[in-house]
Structure 1
Amino acid sequence: MAQPLSIAVVGLGSAGPASATLLARQGHRVELFERAPACEPVGAGFLLQPSGMSVLDELGILEPVLERGARIERLHVLDQQERDLLDLQYQELGDHLFGLGLHRPVLLHYLLAAMAKESVPVHWNWEVTGARRESKGWILESATGQQSRVFDLLIVADGARSTLRQRLFPKGINRGYPWGAHWFIGHNHDTFPTQELYQVVNGTRQLAGFLATGRKLEEEHDLVSLFWSLKLADDELIRSQPLQKWKDTILKVTPRAEPFLAQIEDWSQVLTARYGDVRLPCCHREGVVILGDAAHAMSPQLGQGVNLALQDASSLARCLERFPQSEALAQYARARHFQLAFYSFSTRQLTPWFQSDHQWLSPLRKAFFRTMQYTPPARKFMTRSMAGLVGSRMT
């Protein structure tokens, strides 16, 4: 490594704290800026893939994360008549591979612990609204008029609704999806399988997903995350109607959910998730690089957002360790291009098959997955895609 750099990281999602930790470990002077006033236990459950776990291992936090998560062995998708549509199992890639259902605040807790171990300061309640380039580096500007010191390198990792992306990387695509999801995290009560992502679909307009999510930091109950497909334009109307009507709609698709849904007593317990498609022609410019959802937000159909963000952080750290800053960012962009392009393209193509008004896609979807599942090379490729291994450094 050349002379240590002073580095500003904006955003406390996944890519931000992971990159801050790895770069501080290399001897760089890293500071992280976060708009939230404090660490808050919010966020849905998500599926951590082997590709993401490899980065947590690199960070030294995989073991405690595994203790709080739910080991996922299988992706199981059925239609409303409970006929198999898709059944992929991690063990087909090797007995050592599996997914991990996780409560998002659990991951953040251990990412913060890793940063603290490397003495990375976090500037809470520091909403970055702008950044300007001067002869010696980058200066951050806040919503309250504050200015940071000068940094050699700026890492933008402030999420899908990034403020800095609009200012520093104005070219590209930033498109919101018309479909999102209602989500809720509750106790399993032995309702759903504890080692799989269980989904039921009815055409392309209705999808119920139930992901075993492990345990919260302060609890020992097994959790399940519900994701119910939603056309965002209908959200206000749906919420104006009795909660039981919403439950009944889900129960028509998957009756076994009744004891789980009984935990929901008020609309305030059901949150709305919105998704977007972000694509940039280039992820870096002089002295600045953009990571994670800020650079490549996508629909969660393949469940790769956190995993790709963690791999961004690991790849950037490797490039800065091996190359001077003037070369490292271009090397990073080349290293990440294939995997990010693959998952971005695949997600865009797959999303209408599960969330759209194109009901005519249903029989095509059934025929496609039936053919792919019973064609060994295609099945293996689908399973590798699920595990986040396409384009990954893992074999």
Structure 2
Amino acid sequence: MNESLRIGICGFGVAGGALAVLLARAGHRVTLLERAPKVGPVGAGFLLQPSGQKILAQLGLFDAVAQRSARIERLEAFTETGRQLTDLRYDHAGSGLCAYGVQRGVLFSALHETALLAGTSVTLAAEIAELDETPEGVLVRDVTGRNFGPFDLVVGTDGSRSRVREWLNPGNGRRREYTHGALWGSGHLDSPHDALHQVARSARQLLGLLPIGEGRVAFFWGLRRDEVDALQKRGYERFREDVAALCPRAVPVVDELGGFEHLSFAGYLHSLPRRVHTGRVVLAGDAAHAMSPHLGQGANLALLDAECLARHLSQSPLPEALSRYAAERRSHSRYLSILSQVLSPFFQSESRVLGWGRDIALPLFCAVPWMRRQMELSVAGLKEGFFHRL
């Protein structure tokens, strides 16, 4: 419906990369602005859910990514004593369904190469400072004072701490930093498994192992932001002992990492802004709906956002396309945002009561067929509301 538009995409994450491919292929003039000096992955790995797999297939990238990733059949969680809390299986949500544990570098490389082949212009080391709407279009200014544009449309895909979101929602308080986050790293693990394996000690400690293909696993160790320095001062050997006490399976990965310099800390942030678009600026991915990673949905929501926005831009005039995009994606992102807010304190907080409640409730929920199915549909990304599914 729209003729060739000048489109500026701020941020080369999953949403930005996928949008660059879709929009450039549709004949738009796409400029992608990335704050980093080089395009690369952030984070050790992620779950590509059935919902996101469909979009990656539309991009023509699914087979190449899946071949270098690990097939995940289930999500399992245990207490520190070995009592099972959950065993959620993807094939219960639909015959033949599974997830994939993906190294972020594999997906980013595929998106980068495909975006360039589609004709996207990529500018690196362009950290967004502000936007300026002019009669000729939207200008984007970076922190060095360089101007880019004017653009007919600017898409903010600049992550959970989005500057474009702040510009759209000045003074908006609907952003909250969690007190907890996680140390992330990756290494090799010989023992094969087909599950995201998590071990929880009360609500204060959470450890996870996610196979990400080629014999590698992503390792994460949850903790409070203010505990990172104290953990490092105690020394890596003490940290190894803590890991061994909670999950002996993870020790080979910790040994391979060898020190804290090979682990990165990522904090969690929640934001569901009131406004996700104006007439010529729109948000997608984490910029539109930042949440904790406990549901494993971030990259998948980004892919769904990209497909939805590109589709509406091909069907409707610009202002109408943005409104339709926002309306279509609202219920799904809001549903998962609410779930994330409710569930996160049960896995990472200072509350002993919540930890006890989780240990009692989760096995009971999994024993009820209807409740278990709703949980499995949710983690697969196939529920867009409490009473609706994709």
TM range, normalised to the smaller chain? Answer: over 0.9
Per-residue CA distance 1:308-359 (angstroms, 9 max, x = gap)? 1111111101111111102111111110011000000000000010000111
In structure 1, the residue matched to 2:338 is: 345
Structure 1 runs of 4+ aligned residues shifted over 6 Å read none
CA contact (8 A) 2:138 2:151 kept: yes
Distance 1:260 1:20, change over 3 A: closer
Instruction: Tell me how far apart the structure 1 counterparts of residues 9 and 40 of structure 2 sit (CA, whole Å).
Output: 19
Per-residue CA distance 1:93-136 (angstroms, 9 max, x = gap)? 23321110011111100111221221111011222211100012
SS in 1 for 2:145: coil
Distance 1:3 1:40, change over 3 A: closer
In structure 2, the residue matched to 1:69 is: 69
In structure 2, the residue matched to 1:182 is: 183
Work out whether 1:299 is the aligned partner of 2:292: yes
CA contact (8 A) 2:141 2:147 kept: yes
Instruction: Tell me how far apart the structure 2 counterparts of residues 332 and 187 of structure 1 sit (CA, whole Å).
Output: 41
Which residue identity lines up with residue 268 of structure 2 in the other structure? Answer: Y
Aligned residue among 245, 261, 286 for 1:252 = 245
**Structure 1 residues 22-101: aligned runs within 5 Å:** 22-101=22-101
Which residue identity lines up with residue 177 of structure 2 in the other structure? Answer: G
In structure 1, the residue matched to 2:136 is: 136
**Structure 1 residues 331-342: aligned runs within 5 Å:** 331-342=324-335
Instruction: Tell me how far apart the structure 2 counterparts of residues 110 and 247 of structure 1 sit (CA, whole Å).
Output: 35
In structure 1, the residue matched to 2:160 is: 160
Distance 1:354 1:41, change over 3 A: closer
| 1:375 Cα deviation from its structure 2 partner | 1.3
Instruction: Tell me how far apart the structure 1 counterparts of residues 275 and 173 of structure 2 sit (CA, whole Å).
Output: 9
CA contact (8 A) 2:19 2:310 kept: yes
Instruction: Tell me how far apart the structure 1 counterparts of residues 301 and 45 of structure 2 sit (CA, whole Å).
Output: 16
Distance 1:283 1:42, change over 3 A: closer
Per-residue CA distance 1:258-297 (angstroms, 9 max, x = gap)? 3332213222012111110011012101200011111211
Instruction: Tell me how far apart the structure 2 counterparts of residues 47 and 362 of structure 1 sit (CA, whole Å).
Output: 25
Instruction: Tell me how far apart the structure 2 counterparts of residues 99 and 134 of structure 1 sit (CA, whole Å).
Output: 44
Instruction: Tell me how far apart the structure 2 counterparts of residues 105 and 280 of structure 1 sit (CA, whole Å).
Output: 29
Percent sequence identity is 38
CA contact (8 A) 1:175 1:278 kept: yes
Work out whether 1:199 is the aligned partner of 2:192: no
Q: Which moved more, 1:126-135 or 1:168-177?
A: 168-177
Instruction: Tell me how far apart the structure 2 counterparts of residues 117 and 138 of structure 1 sit (CA, whole Å).
Output: 26
Instruction: Tell me how far apart the structure 2 counterparts of residues 273 and 366 of structure 1 sit (CA, whole Å).
Output: 26
SS in 2 for 1:52: helix
Distance 1:40 1:15, change over 3 A: closer
CA contact (8 A) 2:276 2:282 kept: yes
In structure 2, the residue matched to 1:16 is: 16
CA contact (8 A) 2:203 2:348 kept: yes
CA contact (8 A) 1:189 1:260 kept: no
Aligned residue among 274, 279, 282 for 1:286 = 279
| 1:41 Cα deviation from its structure 2 partner | 5.0
Instruction: Tell me how far apart the structure 1 counterparts of residues 58 and 107 of structure 2 sit (CA, whole Å).
Output: 14
Which residue identity lines up with residue 208 of structure 2 in the other structure? Answer: G
Work out whether 1:325 is the aligned partner of 2:325: no
In structure 2, the residue matched to 1:213 is: 212
Per-residue CA distance 1:199-223 (angstroms, 9 max, x = gap)? 11111111110000113xxxxxx10
| 1:167 Cα deviation from its structure 2 partner | 2.2
| 1:372 Cα deviation from its structure 2 partner | 1.5
SS in 2 for 1:326: helix
Instruction: Tell me how far apart the structure 1 counterparts of residues 198 and 43 of structure 2 sit (CA, whole Å).
Output: 20
| 1:63 Cα deviation from its structure 2 partner | 0.7
In structure 1, the residue matched to 2:216 is: 223
Aligned residue among 248, 261, 269 for 1:268 = 261
In structure 2, the residue matched to 1:219 is: none
| TM superposition score normalised by structure 1 | 0.95
SS in 2 for 1:285: coil
Aligned residue among 235, 240, 244 for 1:242 = 235
Instruction: Tell me how far apart the structure 1 counterparts of residues 359 and 145 of structure 2 sit (CA, whole Å).
Output: 55
In structure 1, the residue matched to 2:357 is: 364
Q: Which moved more, 1:54-63 or 1:113-122?
A: 113-122
Identify unmatched segments of 5+ residues in structure 1: 216-221
Instruction: Tell me how far apart the structure 2 counterparts of residues 362 and 123 of structure 1 sit (CA, whole Å).
Output: 46
| TM superposition score normalised by structure 2 | 0.96
SS in 1 for 2:288: helix
Instruction: Tell me how far apart the structure 1 counterparts of residues 360 and 38 of structure 2 sit (CA, whole Å).
Output: 49
**RMSD over equivalenced CA pairs, Å:** 1.5
| 1:365 Cα deviation from its structure 2 partner | 1.2
Instruction: Tell me how far apart the structure 1 counterparts of residues 279 and 173 of structure 2 sit (CA, whole Å).
Output: 18
Which residue identity lines up with residue 96 of structure 1 in the other structure? Answer: G
Instruction: Tell me how far apart the structure 1 counterparts of residues 267 and 135 of structure 2 sit (CA, whole Å).
Output: 39
SS in 2 for 1:159: coil
Which residue identity lines up with residue 218 of structure 2 in the other structure? Answer: S
In structure 1, the residue matched to 2:126 is: 126
Aligned length: 387
Distance 1:336 1:101, change over 3 A: same
Instruction: Tell me how far apart the structure 2 counterparts of residues 37 and 184 of structure 1 sit (CA, whole Å).
Output: 22
Instruction: Tell me how far apart the structure 2 counterparts of residues 256 and 224 of structure 1 sit (CA, whole Å).
Output: 11
